[in-house]
Amino acid sequence: MENYKLVLPEHLNHYGFLFGGNLLKWIDEVSYIAVTLDYPGSNFVTVAMDRVEFRKSIRKGTILCFETEKKRAGRTSVEYRVQVFTEKIENGDRVMAFSTNITFVSVDADGHKTPLPESAS
């Protein structure tokens, strides 16, 4: 699944670069959308995000492409790989800026772990 985000002035720190926390929030959001679409009717909470290492600075006006792919599913949890690419407006060049794995756990209405549905893609 692909999602896009435009980096605006309100997403920047005082040095003019993207706040890392905004990037992490967007990763959580786009991967939550993916898991929700993969398992309709189920409830999920984020339980882990692997290595967080910011490799490239990101400036205002950058278009970010988030590629989200299911990596593995267990009994109650599912893990996604999220890769973030910068795309240049001038020529469409794409460069990977960040990647991580994020894990969600399926929960019931009371917040207790529950098995994943068997028929999910």
Which residue's entry shows tokens 């790989």? 81
pTM of the predicted structure, to 2 decimals: 0.90
Fold held by 2-107: Thiol Ester Dehydrase; Chain A (3.10.129)
Closest CA to 22 of 64, 75, 70, 83: 64
In the chain, where the domains are located: 2-107
CB contact burial 79-103 (16+ within 10 A = b; e otherwise) = bbbbebbbeeeeeeeeeebbbbebb
Is 120 buried (19+), middle (13-18) or exposed (0-12) by CB count in 10 A?
Answer: middle
pLDDT in tens, 51-71: 888 888 999 999 999 999 999
Predicted confidence at residue 116, as pLDDT, reads: 95
